[in-house]
């Protein structure tokens, strides 16, 4: 595999396999560029539980201090918690050292501006120019600032914000029996306290030791959460939650142990938000049409963006959306808490909805309009993407197209979306239709085309 494919700089920062590609030297230089860009002052740094995290923290802190920044170490925390703390304290910016849902050999620097948001396209472009030119600020001895730590305020701030938007007493009265798989990630301690102590749940948890490796594939999907499903059934839980290593993504299992499709989880969160507040919805191009159906039931519009939290957030700001997210990756963005993917808001919304209705989780999900989806990924030869996309479009003549992120073909009651991954050297394929045979046929048709090389 070509070397450059294992180090990517994209909408959320810099990411790669630690060692040959993402090195301490590169992390230090990138952090120094970041510190130069945001200016002298406080920069918040936190991380997930990967074994490379502590090493990269020291490299990042070194680069920031070399640029004259004061490092505020918040330790191991979920990414949304770090983002909220950055915005609330008006730091110059923030860096989360996490590769999110990627395998453990990866790590990354996620970069936030002073509002605790991912850099927009203009900010990214300026920072990258500065980095590539190695035009860094080099602090003098007298200008080098200290490093401080705050491990208490960020989680308290995050939880307080979430609790402002749910009826905590109603949730606590139900004393839900809840299963949790935190993948030994950044949410291991915070999520346990949130569900058990704050929301009063009877909690049955696995993989909540942040000192241990990830026990499963990091991305929380139906095919990776067999242990959570078993825990739901053996514990008699009413709902099960799973997070990714940096705690921004949420997966949900119903009371039978069936893991819901992430798009349906987002749809339930959208419904909960639209019952509270007036406003429109923003999701990415790969998110299911179930969102359109839910929004239409509330008389609201759905806007779509290229994949990536930064893209969704930019559009949410532009249209003053009340909720948004990325269904296929379990990302729920509720700006009244913060403009970031936040699994904690999702957990609170779903528990409150169960408490309000008295329904089971499976009954809530069953009331959603039914769409069938199929997702996958294939590797592709570097330089062949353009010809592959052209061949795909030519194989579906006359259909509506969207080229804002790869290629989306919109058919009557169905769609296909193919794009290059933002985080891995892969093509991501998604298809949706009203029936399972139709979506299988669409997916197989696209896969066959790519396997033939276009």
- Per-residue model confidence (pLDDT) at position 426: 79
Which run of H or of E encompasses 446? helix 436-451
- Per-residue model confidence (pLDDT) at position 1: 37
Angle at 269 between CA 267 and CA 270, to 5 degrees: 65
pLDDT (tens digit, 0 to 9) for every residue of the chain, 454 residues total? 344 456 777 656 789 999 989 999 999 999 999 999 999 999 999 999 999 999 999 999 999 999 999 999 999 999 999 999 999 999 999 999 999 988 999 999 999 999 999 988 888 889 999 999 998 999 999 999 999 999 999 999 999 999 999 999 999 999 999 999 999 999 999 999 999 999 999 999 999 999 999 999 999 988 999 999 999 999 999 999 999 999 999 999 999 999 999 999 999 999 999 999 999 999 999 999 999 999 999 999 999 999 888 899 999 999 999 999 998 777 899 999 999 999 999 999 999 999 999 999 999 999 999 999 998 888 776 666 778 888 889 889 989 999 999 999 999 899 999 988 766 667 889 999 999 999 999 999 988 887 765 4
Cα-atom radius of gyration of the chain, to the nearest Å? Answer: 22
Instruction: Give the list of residues 6+ apart from residue 257 with CB closer than 8 angstroms, or none.
Output: 228, 229, 230, 232, 233, 240
Domain with CATH 3.40.120.10 in the chain: 3-151, 157-366
- Per-residue model confidence (pLDDT) at position 55: 98
- Per-residue model confidence (pLDDT) at position 4: 45
Read off the pTM.
Answer: 0.92
Q: Rounded CA gap, 247 and 441, in Å?
A: 35
Q: 331, 291 in Cβ contact below 8 A? A: no
Domain with CATH 3.30.310.50 in the chain: 372-451
Angle at 190 between CA 359 and CA 65, to 5 degrees: 140
Query: Residue 239: beta bridge partners?
Result: 178
At residue 266, φ and ψ (nearest 5 deg) are -65, -40
Say if domain 372-451 classifies as CATH 3.30.310.50.
yes
Domain boundaries 3-151, corresponding CATH code:
3.40.120.10
Is residue 51 part of the annotated active site? The answer reads no
- Per-residue model confidence (pLDDT) at position 382: 64
Identify the sign of the CA torsion 141, 142, 148, 153: negative
Q: Rounded CA gap, 116 and 317, in Å?
A: 14
111: left (phi over 0), alpha (psi -120 to 50) or beta: beta
- Per-residue model confidence (pLDDT) at position 216: 97
Domain 157-366 CATH class label = alpha beta
The 3 state secondary structure assigned to 223-273 is HHCHHHHHHHHHHCCCEEEEECCCCCEEEEECCCCCECCHHHHHHHHHHHH
Of 12, 52, 100, 114, the catalytic one is: 100
Angle at 430 between CA 273 and CA 106, to 5 degrees: 85
- Per-residue model confidence (pLDDT) at position 381: 67
């Amino acid at each position: 595999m070509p070397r450059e494919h294992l180090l990517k700089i994209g909408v959320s920062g810099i990411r790669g396999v630690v060692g040959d590609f993402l090195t301490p030297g590169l992390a230090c230089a990138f952090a120094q560029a970041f510190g130069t860009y945001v200016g002298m002052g406080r920069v918040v740094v936190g991380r997930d539980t990967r074994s490379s995290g502590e090493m990269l923290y020291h490299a990042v802190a070194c680069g920031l201090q070399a640029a004259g920044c004061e490092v505020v170490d918040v330790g191991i925390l979920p990414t949304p918690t770090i983002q909220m703390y950055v915005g609330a304290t008006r730091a110059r910016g923030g860096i989360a050292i996490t590769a999110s849902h990627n395998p453990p050999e990866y790590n990354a620097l996620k970069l936030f501006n002073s509002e605790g948001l991912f850099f927009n396209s203009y900010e990214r472009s300026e920072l990258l120019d500065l980095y590539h030119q190695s035009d860094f600020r080099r602090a003098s001895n007298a200008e080098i600032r200290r490093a401080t730590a705050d491990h208490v305020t960020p989680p308290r701030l995050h939880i307080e914000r979430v609790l402002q938007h749910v009826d905590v007493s109603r949730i606590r009265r139900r004393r839900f029996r809840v299963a949790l798989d935190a993948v030994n990630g950044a949410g291991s301690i915070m999520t346990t306290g949130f569900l058990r102590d704050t929301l009063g749940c009877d909690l049955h948890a696995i993989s909540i030791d942040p000192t241990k490796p990830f026990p499963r594939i990091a991305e929380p999907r139906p095919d990776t959460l067999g242990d959570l499903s078993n825990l739901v059934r053996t514990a008699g839980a009413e709902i099960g939650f799973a997070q990714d290593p940096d705690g921004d993504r949420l997966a949900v299992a119903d009371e039978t142990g069936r893991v819901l499709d992430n798009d349906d989880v987002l749809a339930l969160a959208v419904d909960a938000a639209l019952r509270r507040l007036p406003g429109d919805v923003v999701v990415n191009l790969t998110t299911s049409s179930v969102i359109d159906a839910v929004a239409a039931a509330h008389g609201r519009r759905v806007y779509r963006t290229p994949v990536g939290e930064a893209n969704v957030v930019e559009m949410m700001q532009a249209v003053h959306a009340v909720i948004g997210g990325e269904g296929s990756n379990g990302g729920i963005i509720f700006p009244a808490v913060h403009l970031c993917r936040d699994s904690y808001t999702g957990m609170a919304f779903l528990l409150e909805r169960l408490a309000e209705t008295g329904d089971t989780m499976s009954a809530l999900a069953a009331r959603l309009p039914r769409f069938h989806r199929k997702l996958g990924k294939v590797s592709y030869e570097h330089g062949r993407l353009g010809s592959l996309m052209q061949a795909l479009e030519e194989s579906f003549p006359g259909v509506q197209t969207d080229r804002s992120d790869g290629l989306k073909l919109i058919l009557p009651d169905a769609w296909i979306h193919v794009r290059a991954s933002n985080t891995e050297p892969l093509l991501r394929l998604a298809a949706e239709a009203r029936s399972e045979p139709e979506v299988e046929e669409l997916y197989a048709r696209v896969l066959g085309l790519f396997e033939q090389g276009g």
